[in-house]
Chains A and B, each alone.
Chain A
C-alpha cells in the first residue's frame, strides 16, 4: 500500500491527485491551511477507497511550524513513498511591482516555503533510501515574462532547486519529480478566459501519478507545453523584450 503526503492538499490539482491515490487504496497524510476543507476532502478520500487519511493544518509561511508537521506525517505513516508539494498562489503582478512587501511575501509562499519544506524532508528520504519527492513548479518558471515575473521567478527558483536536489537524491535512490503545468482551470485561474490550451486538474493529476510511478524527472503537463516552452526559451532577448507575453 502506498503512503502519500500532500502539502497544499486543498489545491484543485492536489485534490484530483489525491483521488487517484485514494482509488488505489493509498494511505494519505494531507497538509493545508483550511481545516474545514481538509476535513471534507479527507472524508471524500475515505469514501473513494483510501485506507486511512490523516490531516494537519499548516500555513506554509510559518516556517517554524514545518518541522513539527513533517514529524507528524512520518509518525503517522511510518515511511513515505510519495510527497507532493502543491501549494501556491498566483500573485497580482502589478501589486508586486508597487510593494516590496507583497513581492517578498509572494516569493516566500511560492519559493521560500517550498525550498524549506523540501530541505526538511530530504534527510528523511535519504534515510529511507527510497521514495518520490514531487513538486509543482510551472511553465512560468522557464522564462520571466512581464505579465507575471514575480510568480515566474519563484517557480524558476523551485525548478532550479529541484534540479539540484534531484542530482543529490539520485545517489540514494530517491526520485525528484518537477511538474510544470501550463494553464489549468482551477480556483487559482478563476478570473481568466479559458481557451483551447487549458487543461483540467484531472489531466494534470493523471500526469503526476504517472510521473511518480515511472520515476520521471521533469514533466510538462500537458506534454505540448514542452515544445511551446522550448520556443519561448529560445527567443533572443532583443526580440523578447519587444513582445507582450
Chain B
C-alpha cells in the first residue's frame, strides 16, 4: 500500500520502494541503494523514511514466540503492535512496562526510538525493560544483544533509529496489574508554577503523571492546564468503566487544515474548562487514559494535505522553569499555537541507548500545522532556546532540526556511527549528519 511509506505527520513526503519482511529466519533482501526498517509509521517526521531508497516493512513480523504468565516475560517478533500485546496480556494480569501515547506502535519501532511514557519518572524508557533483542545485519550476521551480551550493540540499537540493522525479535519484561482500570486525580493549574508544584508532589506516589497545557492563551492564562496523575487500580475499583467500543475515523483529508488559530483558541479554552472543579477523581479504563487519540482513526488527516510537525524537547531540571516559560511565551506570541501541548517531568532513571532522547528535566511536546516557512522559523527559535539551556529535541518527532543542533543534542552520535549497518540509512540521518 502506498501510504505505508508515510510518517505520522504526513510531512515530509518521501518516495521509496517498500519490501515487506514476514520471515524472521530469512536473510535481509539485497537492495540497490540504502534500506531502513519501518514499523507502523507512528513517528512524525522523517526518521522512519528513506527517500530514494528502500523501506523494510517489518509489520508482518507479527508472531508471538513465548509468554510466561507467571513471570510476565514476553518474547515476540519485532512487528507486533503494542495493541496486540495489550489484548493478549491484560486479561492475564500484565501490562506494558512503558507505553507511548499511542498503542499502534511496533516493538521494533519502540526499541529503535527508545520510547517513553507517562511513567518515565518511575520506569525510565522502554529499552530498560528489553531483556534481549535479535539484530540482523545486511552482511547476514545475527546477534542476540542484551545489557550483558554485546552490550555495545544493545546500547547502539536501543534508540538507534533503525540504523544498526533489523530487529527481528525481542524479549520484554512486562509489569503486573490487577486489572484494566486506572485510578487517580485530575487537577487544574493556573500557571507553569502550578504545574511544577503538582508534578513535584505527585512523582513519588503516582506511577503516571502528565499535563496538558493551553498554548493558545496569553497573559494571565499563559501556561494554565490540566494535570493528571494515576496508578493502576486495584482489582475491584468502585466503578469499572469499559473501553470505548466504537472507533471513529477521519474518512478523508480535508483540502485545508482544520486546525487554525481560531479553532485552536476555542479548543484550548473549552478543554481547560471541561474540568469544572479544581480537583477531580478519575477511575477509567486504561485505553482512554493512555491512548486518548487512538479513539479517532487517522486523526492526523485533520491537518490537511500539508501535514503537520511535532516538536518535543527536554530541558534540564535547573533550567526547566524559566525555559518552559520562555518556550510557552514564544509559542503563544507566534499565534501558531498547538492543539495538544503535553508537559511532563522526566525522572533521572538513565536511558540505555547511546542516542536515547529522555534525560532528566521537563519535556514539552506540541504539534503545529505545517504553514511552511512561518512554522519552520518558529521551531528554529524554539531550538535556540532549547540548545542554549543544554536540552534536546526528540528525533522520533522531528522533520527539521538543523544538523548542528542534532550533534549538540546527541554528542554520542559520533561513537554511534560505527554501528550503523553499511547498507542502512534514513532521510533523517542524512539530513542531520551530511
Contact = CB atoms under 8 A, between A and B. Distances in A.
Interface in B8-56: 20, 22-25
B22 A40 contact: no
Contact of A194 (B1, B25, B67): B1
B394 to A, nearest CB: 31
B64 A43 contact: yes
Given A48-B88, A185-B1, A194-B1, A43 B22 contact: no
B20 A47 contact: no
20 contacts: A12-B22, A36-B25, A37-B23, A40-B63, A40-B65, A43-B63, A43-B64, A44-B63, A44-B65, A47-B64, A47-B65, A47-B66, A47-B88, A48-B64, A48-B88, A185-B1, A187-B22, A190-B20, A194-B1, A194-B2
Contacts of B66: 43, 47
A41 interface: yes
Ordered nearest first, which 7 A-B pairs have the shortest CB separation? Answer: A47-B64, A44-B63, A47-B67, A44-B64, A194-B1, A43-B65, A40-B63
A40 B22 CA distance: 11
A41 B2 CA distance: 28
A190 B66 CA distance: 29
Contacts of A41: 63
A220 B25 CA distance: 34
Contacts of B24: 40
Contacts, number: 30
Contacts of B67: 47
Interface residues on B, range: 10 to 19
Interface string A176-187: 000000000101
Nearest to A185: B1
A12 B1 CA distance: 16
Nearest to B22: A187
A102 B88 CA distance: 44
A51 to B, nearest CB: 15
B81 to A, nearest CB: 13
Most buried by B among A36, A44, A190: A44
A214 to B, nearest CB: 23
A36 B88 CA distance: 24
- The secondary-structure label for the interface of chain A is helix
Interface string A124-139: 0000000000000000
B158 to A, nearest CB: 24
A48 B87 CA distance: 10
Nearest to B91: A49
Nearest to B84: A48
A120 B427 CA distance: 55
Most buried by A among B23, B63, B88: B63
A190 to B, nearest CB: 7
B22 to A, nearest CB: 6
Contacts of A44: 63-65
Interface in A1-59: 12, 36-37, 40-41, 43-44, 47-48
A12 B24 CA distance: 15
A12 B61 CA distance: 12
Interface string A147-175: 00000000000000000000000000000
Contacts of A37: 23, 25
Contacts of A187: 20, 22
Contacts of A48: 64, 88
Contacts of A185: 1
Interface string A189-215: 010001000100000000000000000
Contacts of B20: 187, 190
B63 to A, nearest CB: 4
A40 B20 CA distance: 18
A198 B25 CA distance: 28
A25 to B, nearest CB: 13
A203 to B, nearest CB: 14
A187 B24 CA distance: 14
A195 to B, nearest CB: 9
A22 to B, nearest CB: 10
A12 B67 CA distance: 23
Most buried by B among A43, A44, A47: A47
Given A41-B63, A48-B88, 6 more contacts: A12-B22, A40-B65, A43-B63, A44-B64, A47-B65, A47-B66
A171 B20 CA distance: 45
A44 B66 CA distance: 7
A50 B43 CA distance: 34
Contacts of B23: 37
Interface in B334-354: none
A187 B25 CA distance: 16
Nearest to A193: B2
Nearest to B23: A37
B30 to A, nearest CB: 16
B87 to A, nearest CB: 9
A43 B66 CA distance: 7
Contacts of B1: 185, 194, 198
Contacts of A194: 1-2
A44 B77 CA distance: 10
B197 to A, nearest CB: 45
B1 to A, nearest CB: 5
Nearest to A36: B25
B10 to A, nearest CB: 19
A187 B29 CA distance: 15
Interface in B231-256: none
Contacts of B64: 43-44, 47-48
A194 B2 CA distance: 8
